[in-house]
Amino acid sequence: MLDSAFGQRLDGFNIVATPDYPFGSLSAGRALSNARQLGATAIAVIPFLWQSSPSASDLVAGSDMSDGALRAAIREARGLGLAVIVKPHIWVPDSWAGAIEPTSEQAWRTWFIRYRLQLERIGRIASEEGADAVAIGTELAKTSGRPEWKDVIAAARAAFPRTLLYVAHNTDEAEAITFWPMLDAIGVSLYPPLGSDDDRAGRLAAMAAVAVRLDALSSRWGKPVLVAEIGLRSAKGAAAKPWESAEERTAAADPQLQADVIADWLAVLNRPSIHGVLIWRWFTDPAAGGPNDTDFTVQGKPAEAVLSCAWTGICRKP
């Protein structure tokens, strides 16, 4: 079913709050307004959860976003006319969410009980503040085959009776998931290897192969697809490993490569099965980014002009 959240395309950004520019502040409002002016129609707000290691079951709410800050983020975005997807992530020190895998059946049960309680809390806030959609999980690749998801989804639906989706890690996880019928949309993050920076033909072929698989997923399950994350560092060599962070590899700035890759992604993903694309990422600091920054944010970089052209039809030289 197409829920009301997909009555329009959900194009925009994953918004990350920086400590000195919290949601609800004038500066965060400016940053969101700047995103809106580029043509964004939606944002993903990211409350972080935390656990100590991939095998641990000590999942708790993260310290980066209080319930009040989550409420402020939703209100601020909605006040600007942006659709809001609440998209929880789990932070695992020195690892990532896709590695989460408790080591015993009891540990799995504990993990899912804790996860369900956090998701219910987030879902209730999202419902009370009028968010448009909630992601029940993001890139939890080693958990998504577990039977506990049925109860988690039912609990999330009770807390948040609007659009629910899950954000799979690349097409491999998305194709393996069997609980799509319980959700309203298929979400996916896309960070496949794209080859050398100067091999545009190769990266277009890689992108097209991904898009064909997304078309097939949408057709198989009768669901719209939201590309909930695509992005690239503005750094030389970034195309080979689009998921790689600035902390993992030092490199010279290359903002034009970022712009070119995002432009290619947007062109390839402009197809009926795809109902929106959310760029990773945009900070609540309106002065973030800039031409010498080598991280993922597109702020103050040529990619802004690419996005404005795609989303508003107003195309200009960066």
Q: What is the pLDDT of residue 4?
A: 54
* Mean pLDDT on 188-204: 98
E-state strands within 71-184: 83-86, 89-91, 133-138, 163-169
Between CA 175 and CA 220 the distance in angstroms is: 10
* Mean pLDDT on 64-84: 96
195 lies in a domain?
yes
- Strands in 89-91's sheet, in edge-to-edge order, are 60-61, 48-50, 89-91
118 lies in a domain?
yes
Are the C-beta atoms of 179 and 153 separated by less than 8 Å? yes
**What CATH number did the domain enclosing 241 receive?**
3.20.20.80
| pLDDT beyond 70 at 17 | yes
- pLDDT tens digit string along 128-180? 999 999 999 999 999 999 999 999 999 999 999 999 999 999 999 999 999 99
**Quick one: what percent of the chain has pLDDT higher than 70?**
98
297 lies in a domain?
yes
153 lies in a domain?
yes
Between CA 50 and CA 210 the distance in angstroms is: 30
DSSP state of 284: S
Q: Which amino acid is at 118?
A: Q
Q: Which amino acid is at 24?
A: G
Residue 198 burial (C-beta neighbours within 10 Å; 0-12, 13-18, 19+): exposed
pLDDT-derived band at 3 (thresholds 50, 70, 90) equals very low
Between CA 16 and CA 64 the distance in angstroms is: 10
318 lies in a domain?
no
End-to-end Cα spacing for the chain: 40
Q: Which residue, 221, 174, 20, 100, is CA-closest to 31?
A: 20
132 lies in a domain?
yes
Between CA 73 and CA 277 the distance in angstroms is: 20
* Mean pLDDT on 207-215: 98
| pLDDT beyond 70 at 23 | yes
Site of tokens 């659709």: 83
| pLDDT beyond 90 at 275 | yes
- For the record, the structure tokens of 62 come out as 């993260």
Dihedral sign from CA coordinates of 282, 284, 287, 288 = negative
Between CA 41 and CA 82 the distance in angstroms is: 5
Q: What is the pTM of this model?
A: 0.96
> Chain-wide mean pLDDT for the chain?
96
pLDDT-derived band at 318 (thresholds 50, 70, 90) equals low
- For the record, the structure tokens of 228 come out as 């909930």
Between CA 275 and CA 128 the distance in angstroms is: 25
Are the C-beta atoms of 226 and 186 separated by less than 8 Å? yes
* Containing structural domain, residue 196: 4-312
* Mean pLDDT on 183-195: 98
230 lies in a domain?
yes
Site of tokens 């049925």: 150
Q: What is the pLDDT of residue 220?
A: 98
DSSP state of 253: B
Between CA 145 and CA 165 the distance in angstroms is: 16
Q: What is the pLDDT of residue 7?
A: 76
- H helix or E strand, kind and range, residue 150: helix 149-159
Q: Which residue, 304, 270, 232, 277, is CA-closest to 35?
A: 304
Q: How many domains does the chain have?
A: 1
Q: What is the pLDDT of residue 1?
A: 35
- Count other Cβ atoms within 10 Å, centred on residue 80: 14
| pLDDT beyond 60 at 293 | yes
66 lies in a domain?
yes
